[in-house]
């Protein structure tokens, strides 16, 4: 799907350096509305850095990123505003420990988006229900498992009604029995047409959730293909080698 949707993100030739070290080298990527892109690649190849550039957490040094036609690589971009549209969920999500689940979720809608509490609360409760955690709304983060905290993190991103959500290895720190419950939430979002860029090392999940697999190595996109193609006939030796390790 989504070959014809509006282009939400148009990434052209972005470069990123840490000191002398180039960690992104001419990355091109287009993301259309409704599309699910999975980014795979060995540790250190630049996956997190790429997502962080798309969320304004790292500046780029060359190339450009457009979100719905707006250039994100020039000075004066309002990232606080943009992060409402481009949400992100991290590997280690920490809620504010002194606030309940529901107050953690409502922070963005109320403080950033200045929405009315009853409406924001109603949506937050619907989202909590969708991830099976409505009964935990008055809990504090310390009372939750890692998998539950990550589901809350996803709800927190969704509560801003973003156009796109970036997921950076959101199950990597979880005990194995909690991985599935988080992946299932993301699969559900894919079915509902949410636009997502997902960095993961869960190959079975990548195959089932992705419309397109983007394989990175050493700061470059090595290969981009439909999952059935990528997992059965990867075009590059690097991707073959990577898949041999993971499968
Ligand atoms: P991945 O997510 O694919 O494992 P990263 O994007 O985290 O890779 O890192 C890409 C490269 O950039 C790595 O070599 C890493 O050590 C380096 N790097 C990441 N963040 C920083 C930073 N803040 N300062 C210096 N080097 C960094
Ligand atoms: Mg990473």
Count of CB atoms situated within 10 Å of the CB of 172: 14
Task: For residue 97, tell me if it sits in a domain.
Answer: yes
| Crossing angle for the helix pair 146-158 and 117-130, to the nearest 10 degrees | 140
Residue 199 CA, closest ligand 1 atom number: 2
Which of 38, 49, 53, 215 to probe ligand 1 with, by most ligand atoms within 8 A of CB? 49
> Which residues are CB-neighbours of 236 under 8 A, at least 6 positions away?
215, 222, 223
Distance 62 CA to ligand 1 centre (A): 17
Q: How many domains does the chain have?
A: 1
Atom nearest to 49 CA in ligand 1: 6
Does residue 157 sit within a domain?
Answer: yes
Residue nearest to atom 26 of ligand 1 (CA): 18
Q: Considering the domain boundaries, does residue 130 fall inside one? A: yes
Q: What is the pLDDT along the chain (247 residues), one digit of tens a residue?
A: 556 789 999 999 999 999 999 999 999 999 999 999 999 999 999 999 999 999 999 999 999 999 999 999 988 999 999 999 999 999 987 789 999 999 999 999 999 999 999 999 999 999 999 999 999 999 999 999 999 999 999 999 999 999 999 999 999 999 999 999 999 999 999 999 999 999 999 999 999 999 999 999 999 999 999 999 999 999 999 999 999 988 7
CB-CB contact of 215 with 224 (8 Å): yes
pLDDT score at 94: 75
d(CA 43, ligand 2 centre) in Å:
7
Q: What is the pLDDT of residue 206?
A: 98
Within a domain: 148: yes
Q: What is the whole-number distance in angstroms between the Cα of residue 44 and the centre of ligand 1?
A: 6
- Whole domain around residue 92: which residue ranges? 7-246
Cross-strand bridge partners of residue 225: 213
> Does residue 2 sit within a domain?
no
Q: Count other Cβ atoms within 10 Å, centred on residue 52.
A: 18
Cβ neighbour number for residue 194 with a 10 Å cutoff: 19
Task: Look at residue 207 and tell me if it is in a domain.
Answer: yes
Strands (E), the chain: 7-18, 21-32, 36-40, 64-67, 70-71, 86-89, 164-168, 195-199, 212-217, 220-225
- Residues in the ligand 1 pocket, defined by CB under 6 Å: 18, 23, 41, 43-49
> Measured between alpha carbons, how far is residue 214 from residues 41, 47, 169 in Å?
8, 10, 15
- Residue from 20, 46, 215 whose mutation best tests the ligand 1 pocket (most atoms within 8 A of CB): 46
Q: What is the pLDDT of residue 214?
A: 98
Q: What interface predicted TM-score (ipTM) does this complex get?
A: 0.99
Domain presence at residue 1: no
The answer to whether 133 touches 164, Cβ cutoff 8 Å, is: no
- Residues 181 and 177: their CA atoms lie apart, in Å, by 8
Residues 6+ apart with CB under 8 A from 60: 14, 15, 16, 24, 53, 73
**CATH number, residue 170:** 3.40.50.300
């Amino acid at each position: 799907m989504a070959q014809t949707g509006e282009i939400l993100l148009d990434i052209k030739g972005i470069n990123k350096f840490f000191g002398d070290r180039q960690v992104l080298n001419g990355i091109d990527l287009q993301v259309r509305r409704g599309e699910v892109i999975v980014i795979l690649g060995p540790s250190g190849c630049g996956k997190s850095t790429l997502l962080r550039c798309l969320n304004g957490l790292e500046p780029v040094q060359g190339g450009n990123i457009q979100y719905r036609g707006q250039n994100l690589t020039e000075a004066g971009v309002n990232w606080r505003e943009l992060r409402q549209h481009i949400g992100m969920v991290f590997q280690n999500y920490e809620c504010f420990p002194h606030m309940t689940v529901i107050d953690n979720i409502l922070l963005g809608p109320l403080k950033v988006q200045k929405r009315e509490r009853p409406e924001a609360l109603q949506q937050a409760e619907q989202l909590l229900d969708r991830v099976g955690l409505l009964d935990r709304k008055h809990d504090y983060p310390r009372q939750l498992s890692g998998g539950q905290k990550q589901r809350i993190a996803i709800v927190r991103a969704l509560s801003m009604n973003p156009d796109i959500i970036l997921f950076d290895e959101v199950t990597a720190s979880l005990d194995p029995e909690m991985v599935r419950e988080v992946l299932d939430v993301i699969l559900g979002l894919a079915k509902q047409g949410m636009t997502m860029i997902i960095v993961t090392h869960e190959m079975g999940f990548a195959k089932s959730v992705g419309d397109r697999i983007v394989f990175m190595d050493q700061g470059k996109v090595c290969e981009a293909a439909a999952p059935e193609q990528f997992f059965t006939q990867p075009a590059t030796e690097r991707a073959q080698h990577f898949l041999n390790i993971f499968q």
